[in-house]
Amino acid sequence: MSAVTQRLKAARPQLALLAVALLVNVFVAPGFLDLRLQDGRLFGGLIDILNRGAPVMLLAVGMAPVIATRGIDLSVGVIMAISGAVAAAGVNAGLAWPVAILAALATGLVCGLWNGLLVAVFRLQPIVATLILMVAGRGIAQLITEGRILTFTEPHLIAVAGSTLAALPLPVVLALAAAGLTGLLVRATALGLFVEAVGTNPRSSRLAGVHTGLVLGAVYVWSGLMAALAGLIATADIKGADANNAGLWLELDAILAVVIGGTSLYGGRFSIGRSVLGALVLQAMRTAILRAGLPPELNLVLMALVVAAVLTQQSPAFRPVATRLMARLKNKEAQA
């Protein structure tokens, strides 16, 4: 069996979930699956989901290796706000757009380095270490924007969210490219194995010669970089840096996406591709809820019900029950 078909087989539950979520969308809005090419860009419901889901896809790409090391990064939503604020303040202060974008990405790296330092060197528990930035970071972003929504008109920065590459919105291309690059980094090299080793048993992996500190630090730096890119997209999308709301609670969506992708919070095995699928499942459900025309009071309840159903279906305790049910159904069919 080739590696690709093996991967697809492993991702069957996530693909099935995505198919169900898309079916709900078709049910809610007929013509949802229609794709049309106009002015060199694809339009349609699928593209909308990819486009709106791009920030959480990026966060999930960064979060998956972190969770695989038995860690967690609660600060990614806040890093989005800070990097967006840096980019907006940069172009408004007259910096050239490439400099502003690089500065925003560098901000993400620095934030990730801070988290990595606390976790890898000072041995703080990841949830506490990243909580520090999560709590303080919005204040930093607000200091940069002076508490206002910092709007800008720099066309290149706006193009980060508003332009098209290869018939796809640029955020989609960026998210898929980041996922591809990360997947290559962890699977074409031994890096992924190191990450999983550190998450499964840090002590024995250290004894086996894995530089655990370096691996731990690196995953947080990468997560920071992905978050900064997501922040750039979110900021460019509304042509303004909203320090109070950019990326708000998205760290939780990213964690959920990774978990739906089948990665355990206890660390160990992880998959970038399945985490991206997890992010798309979440966005597809959100899109369906937004377009269903139901009262908005139901939004969160519906989301919670669906997530609960998805996660119980994945739980090991549920599997034997499901298998037995399926067997009984098959028996009945056979009898009939």
40, burial (CB in 10 Å: exposed 0-12, middle 13-18, buried 19+): exposed
- What's the CA gap between 60 and 80, in Å, rounded? 13
Which parts of 211-250 interact with other proteins (CB under 8 A)?
234, 237-240, 242, 244-246, 248
Q: How far is the CB of 215 from other proteins (least distance, A)?
A: 34
Site stretch for other proteins (CB under 8 A), options 108-116, 142-150, 188-196, 262-270:
142-150
Rounded to whole angstroms, what are the CA distances from 20 to 12, 16, 99, 145, 179?
12, 6, 43, 41, 23
* Positive or negative torsion for Cα 273, 5, 316, 314: positive
Q: How far is the CB of 297 from other proteins (least distance, A)?
A: 5
Contact indicator for 115, 133 with CB cutoff of 8 Å = yes
Q: Which is nearer to other proteins, 131 or 185 (CB)?
A: 131
**DSSP letters spanning 281-309:** HHHHHHHHHHHTT--GGGHHHHHHHHHHH
Would you count residue 98 as binding other proteins (CB under 8 A)? Answer: no
Site stretch for other proteins (CB under 8 A), options 128-136, 202-210, 287-295, 328-336:
287-295
Where is 245: in which H helix or E strand? none
Which parts of 245-264 interact with other proteins (CB under 8 A)?
245-246, 248
Dihedrals φ, ψ of 263, to 5°?
A: -90, 135
Which parts of 42-71 interact with other proteins (CB under 8 A)?
45, 48, 52
SS3 call for 205: helix
- What's the CA gap between 123 and 51, in Å, rounded? 37
Q: Which is nearer to other proteins, 64 or 288 (CB)?
A: 288
Q: Which is nearer to other proteins, 196 or 237 (CB)?
A: 237
Q: Which is nearer to other proteins, 84 or 202 (CB)?
A: 84
Would you count residue 155 as binding other proteins (CB under 8 A)? Answer: no
Nearest CA to 61 out of 227, 295, 306 is that of 227
Would you count residue 140 as binding other proteins (CB under 8 A)? Answer: no
Contact indicator for 259, 311 with CB cutoff of 8 Å = yes
Would you count residue 163 as binding other proteins (CB under 8 A)? Answer: no
Out of 296, 316, 317, 334, the only residue in the binding site for other proteins (CB under 8 A) is 296
- What's the CA gap between 78 and 89, in Å, rounded? 16
Would you count residue 142 as binding other proteins (CB under 8 A)? Answer: yes
Q: Which is nearer to other proteins, 66 or 284 (CB)?
A: 284
Contact indicator for 84, 233 with CB cutoff of 8 Å = no
Would you count residue 148 as binding other proteins (CB under 8 A)? Answer: yes
13, burial (CB in 10 Å: exposed 0-12, middle 13-18, buried 19+): middle
Would you count residue 83 as binding other proteins (CB under 8 A)? Answer: no
Which parts of 12-31 interact with other proteins (CB under 8 A)?
28-29
Q: Which is nearer to other proteins, 72 or 289 (CB)?
A: 289
- Going by the DSSP 8-state scheme, the letter that residue 167 receives in this structure is T
- Going by the DSSP 8-state scheme, the letter that residue 95 receives in this structure is -
Q: Which is nearer to other proteins, 6 or 151 (CB)?
A: 151
Residues that bind other proteins (CB under 8 A): 28-29, 45, 48, 52, 142, 147-149, 151, 162, 234, 237-240, 242, 244-246, 248, 287, 290-291, 293, 295-297, 299-300
